[in-house]
Each structure stands twice: as C-alpha cells, then as structure tokens.
Amino acid sequence: MFLSSRTTAPRGAYRVAVSIVAAAVAVAGLASTAMAQKRGGTMHALINPEPPILAVGIVSNTPTQTVGGKIFSALLTYSFDLKPVPSLAESFEISADGKTYTFKLRKGVKWHDGKPFSSDDVVFSFTKLLPEVNPRARINFARVEKVTAPDADTVVLQLKDPFPPFIYAFDVATAPILPKHVYDGTDYRANPANNNPIGTGPFKLKEWKKGSYIHLVRHEEYFKPGKPYLDELIFQVVPDAGQRVVALETQKVHLAAFSDIEWFEVQRLKAMPHLELTTKGYEMYAPVSWLDMNHSRKPFDDPRFRKAMMHAHDREFMRDKLFFGLGRTANGPINSVTQFYDEKALTKYPYDLKKAEALLEEMGLKKGAGGMRAKVEMIVMPYGEVWQRVAEYSKQQLRRIGVDVVLKTTDVAGFNQACSNFEYDMTWQYLFQFGDPAIGVARSYISSNIKKGVMFTNTHQYRNPKVDEAFDKGAVAPTREERQRWYTIAQQQTTEDVAVGWMHELEFPTFFNKKFRGVVTTALGVNESFDEVHLAE
C-alpha cells in the first residue's frame, strides 16, 4: 500500500551512492547539440497500426508509445548502453543501501494546457494512476513503501527492499508522468484526455483525424530551451503495406519503424540513396515474439499440447523466409542478447512433426473427419502483413498435425480487448524486455500479474509457484551471481512448462530520410521525444 505526502526531508538524511546530473550525462548516448541546430520543418512518419489511444501509460502498445513518447515525458530516458539519462528529472540520487531514490525535478515545466508541472503529478502517477493501468508499473511500484514530495521540485521513493533493476523503471512507456489535474478522481481508462492528451513533451496534439493522420505541433514552452527543432510531426496512418513502401520511396513520408515496412522490403529499400537504415534504438526493448496460448482453455491447459505447438513450427524457416534473416530464433523468455540469458537452462523443442503428433496421440486426441484432432481459433496480430503471414504459416503447419486453425482478424482495440479479457484460444504476441527481466519479462509469467482487463500482463494465465519465486528473488538478489541463479531457474521452469511458444527474437528495421538528423539518439529509438530531430544543413 502506498503512502504519499509532502514532508520536509531532514538535511543529510540520504547517503548518496549514485548522483547523476543532467549536464554530466548529456553526452551519454544522446546526439551532440554543441551548436544550435536549424529550427523549422515538418517530418512525416508512418504509424502502423493506428494507435487505439494516445495516452501512453494508459495503453502501452507500440503505436501509442511511438506517438505518446513525443507528447509525454518521464523522469529518465536511457542511452544506447542503457545508462539512465535525466529528462523531467534534472538529477537523481540513490542511497547507499539501494532503498531510497531521490529525484530533483526540472523547474518551470508546464503542461500543454499551461498548468505548472510539479512533484504532485509524479506522486499521483506513481501511486495511483500507473499501478492501476500499466502492467509493468504495477510490478515495479508494488516494491515501493512510500512516495513523498518534500517540495514541488523533489520526489523521494522509499523501497521496501533493495531492487537493483528499479533504475530501469522510469522510461516514458513504463512510467510516463500524467497530469494530476486532468486524471485525479476520474475513470482513467475512459478519460477524454486519452484521445486529447495533455503532456509535458516537446510536441502537442493539434488534430487527430481517425484513419488518416495524427498531427503534432511544437510545444513552445517545452522545458528544454530552443527545442524541439521541428515545427510539426505528422504521423500518417496507411493501412496498406504497399502504399507505405511507396510513400517512403517517393519521400511523401520520412520515417518508418517497427512493423511499418514489411521485412521482405528491407533489402530493396536499403539500397535507395535517400534512405538510411538502422537497427539501433531497440536496445531497451529486445523484443521476443511468441505463440500465445490461453491456459484456461482446453486443450491449451495441457503442456503436451503446448509442446506439440512448438514442435510443429520450423523457427529457422520463419526467421529466414518470413523475417528475411533479421533477428534470431527464440527458445525461452529472455532475449539472448540481454543480461541473464542462460542457454543451458532451456528445454528446447526442435522442429519435429512426428514428435508433435505423438504428443497429441498421448493426450488422446485421435484423428477424426478430415484427419483433424482438434479445432482452435487464432487471432491474427494486427501489426502488419508479416503477422498475417505468420498466422497463415501456423495454420498450415498445425493442419499437418491434425489441428484445424480458424483465423480471426481484428483491429488493435479488438485485439487488446480479446487478449486482456482472456477471450481467445491462441494468438501471436511480442513484448519488450525493458533492460532487465524484472521489468519486462517477469510480468508475462508471474501469477500475481494475471489481471483481467489489463493488456501485456500474464494474459495466458500461466501459473507455477517455482517461477513466481524465481522471478521474485531474482529481482531483489544482492549480487549478479545470485540474480543469475534465480533467472536460470525461471528459464528452466518456463521452458519445461512451455508457458508460451517462443519463436523469434525480433530485429526491427528503421528507415529515415537522410535530410533529417538526430532521429535515433537513445535506446528508446523512435519512441523517444524527437526533440533532437532536425533538418540537415
């Protein structure tokens, strides 16, 4: 339970173990701004699919993060090597015992409606709003004993116990600061500001024409003097994959990221002289995709069925032919390029249709009419043509072992509703790792995070007390070696149970027009604020 108040902090109350000041870290992964950049210009960016709402934190799917990251701000951002960099906070300190985090906030920050930003907004966001609506924030802030505001420019978080990954909990997707004067006392998920957002970011909403574009303009009272450089950002909603490619080719749009451009177009587009390709800017995310199976429905409640699903998919074929060589095959919950991955701990399920069928036979699922053993529904993830192809590949492969798959299409809002309310058999999903297993991985597997109505939680309803214990103790263990021991157990147990069907460690291509600079400057990539983006001289 949270306690929040304004108190007077005693002088010298905190032993400082870490102190990072904005001026000292401005060079840590951010684009150099030693000389003033040219102001002005418009960037047109693709956004696919259209976000269901714009208030990041209320909804945390990728399109909302991309647009919302320009409108809202957080206390910190992160450099390419995942070092924390102040944002709304101008500095922070961590006590020697690792239990007290003190943030000094920037002075003079204003919301887009002209109201002053203060520590009250931070306390409200951290203690009331985010723990209710944001799946990662709920886990992170549950470890906090109290949040206090000694004054309008200071916030102090007192943890119940040391939690080393806590420093990764303050990005704009996990812990955006939302305005107390707009949300307090309201139904957070139904607040009109979700579609007419009021943030502190460098850009504010001018117009959202549903199905067409989202038009953002410069916030003239942004807290970084002289920024942003651009006059406006226009996110174009282009549902057709072919039209998105043409728009990028003809320079009608200047930026494409995540699933905007299908993987099969990458090699051709990277040869175009006006485009630059980068895979940087996803270091914070390290996404893993998986076949999501609802454990509360038969036959998915039987681990043998889930193992059969794994054996039925040729993941190397998927990597090479569906994702055109980008990324790596996945075998467990932790991305192999991030910390605490342990390949030796994983139970692997190589492509083997005969083994898949043997498992179904063992379950008593005999072949019936047309050679089918079971019939299930799969919701197609609405994030571009590649996911339609992935779903069609699954349907084809599972038919070969006697499982009839009915594909169901929906939009992002329908997808979120079905998954968060456990109203599905199976689907495809990918989630971000956010720098540490305690922040981005545990949420999908711990039983305490089974919360109906909240997306990106343990929506498949996997339960294993050993996994709960491993993730819990791995998060707070005092040494890296002990953390590794617990995360090894978590990887052993989840892969033995096939909590989900891990398939691919994604690498997204980001294309941007070379007439722009400062596009990808941190580990948040295109979800960053874009206050550094400017036209090349």
3-state secondary structure of 440: helix
Residue 470 and residue 409 share a domain:
yes
Range of the domain at 128: 4-196+525-535
Q: Note the pLDDT tens digit of each residue in 3-22.
A: 443 333 333 333 344 444 44
Helix (H) or strand (E) holding 207: strand 203-209
Residue 473 and residue 433 share a domain:
yes
- Rounded CA-CA distance 278/360 in Å is 43
Average pLDDT over the chain, rounded to whole? 92
Q: In this structure, what token pair is assigned to residue 74? A: 């957080």
Residue 393 and residue 313 share a domain:
yes
- Rounded CA-CA distance 122/176 in Å is 9
Domain annotation covers residue 515 = no
323 touches 387 (CB < 8 A): no
**CATH code of residue 462:** 3.10.105.10
Domain annotation covers residue 202 = no
Give the 3-state DSSP-derived string for 35-79, with helices as H, strands as E and coil as C: CCCCCCCEEEEEECCCCCCCCECCECCHHHHHHHHHHCCCCEEEC
Task: Please give the C-alpha separations between residue 363 and each of 69, 172, 308, 373, in angstroms, as whole numbers.
Answer: 47, 46, 11, 10
Residue 306 and residue 185 share a domain:
no
**Bridge partners (DSSP) listed for residue 215:** 207, 234
Residue 454 and residue 338 share a domain:
yes
Q: In this structure, what token pair is assigned to residue 400? A: 């070969």
Residue 44 and residue 180 share a domain:
yes
Q: Is the pTM of this model over 0.85?
A: no
Query: Phi/psi zone of residue 250: left (φ > 0), alpha (ψ -120 to 50 degrees), beta?
Result: alpha
Domain annotation covers residue 208 = no
Residue 440 and residue 292 share a domain:
yes
Domain annotation covers residue 222 = no
155 touches 149 (CB < 8 A): yes
Task: Please give the C-alpha separations between residue 450 and each of 206, 476, 480, 534, in angstroms, as whole numbers.
Answer: 37, 21, 28, 43
Domain annotation covers residue 516 = no
**CATH code of residue 64:** 3.90.76.10
Contacts of 367 (CB under 8 A, 6+ apart): 373, 402
Task: Please give the C-alpha separations between residue 214 and each of 47, 198, 207, 262, 320, in angstroms, as whole numbers.
Answer: 9, 15, 6, 22, 34
Domain annotation covers residue 245 = no
Task: Please give the C-alpha separations between residue 57 and each of 71, 101, 396, 411, 436, in angstroms, as whole numbers.
Answer: 12, 21, 37, 20, 19
Q: Note the pLDDT tens digit of each residue in 453-474.
A: 989 999 999 999 999 999 999 9
455: DSSP letter: T
**Tally of structural domains, the chain:** 2
- Rounded CA-CA distance 170/524 in Å is 12
445 touches 494 (CB < 8 A): yes
Look at strands 403-408 and 374-379 and give their pairing: parallel
49 touches 239 (CB < 8 A): yes
Residue 475 and residue 529 share a domain:
no
Q: How far from chain centre, in Å, is Cα 98?
A: 26
Q: How far from chain centre, in Å, is Cα 212?
A: 24
Domain annotation covers residue 169 = yes
Give the 3-state DSSP-derived string for 138-201, with helices as H, strands as E and coil as C: HHHHCCEEEEEEEECCEEEEEECCCCHHHHHCCCCCCCCCCCHHHHCCCCHHHCHHHCCCCCCC
CA angle 292, 293, 297 (to 5 degrees): 155
Residue 450 and residue 530 share a domain:
no
Helix (H) or strand (E) holding 374: strand 374-379
Q: Note the pLDDT tens digit of each residue in 171-195.
A: 999 999 999 999 999 999 999 999 9
Classify burial at 166, counting beta carbons within 10 Å of its beta carbon; exposed 0-12, middle 13-18, buried 19 or more: buried
Residue 185 and residue 292 share a domain:
no
Q: Is the dihedral of CA 495, 427, 383, 404 positive or negative?
A: positive
Query: Phi/psi zone of residue 365: left (φ > 0), alpha (ψ -120 to 50 degrees), beta?
Result: beta
Residue 448 and residue 407 share a domain:
yes
Residue 8 and residue 59 share a domain:
yes
pLDDT at 136: 83
Per-residue pLDDT of the chain (537 residues; tens, 9 = 90+): 344 433 333 333 333 444 444 434 443 434 444 456 889 999 999 999 899 999 999 988 889 999 999 999 999 999 999 999 999 999 999 999 999 999 999 999 999 999 999 999 999 999 999 999 998 898 899 999 999 999 999 999 999 999 989 999 999 999 999 999 999 999 999 999 999 999 999 999 999 999 999 999 999 999 999 999 999 999 999 999 999 999 999 999 999 999 899 888 999 999 999 999 998 999 999 999 999 999 999 999 999 999 999 999 999 999 999 998 889 999 999 999 899 999 999 999 999 999 999 999 999 999 998 999 999 999 999 988 899 999 999 999 999 999 999 999 999 899 999 999 999 999 999 999 998 999 999 999 999 999 999 899 999 999 999 999 999 999 999 899 999 999 999 999 999 999 999 999 998 899 999 999 999 999 999 999 999 999 997
488 touches 481 (CB < 8 A): no
Domain annotation covers residue 445 = yes
Integer-rounded Cα radius of gyration of the chain? 23
Amino acid at 32: S
- Rounded CA-CA distance 112/205 in Å is 9
**Bridge partners (DSSP) listed for residue 205:** 216
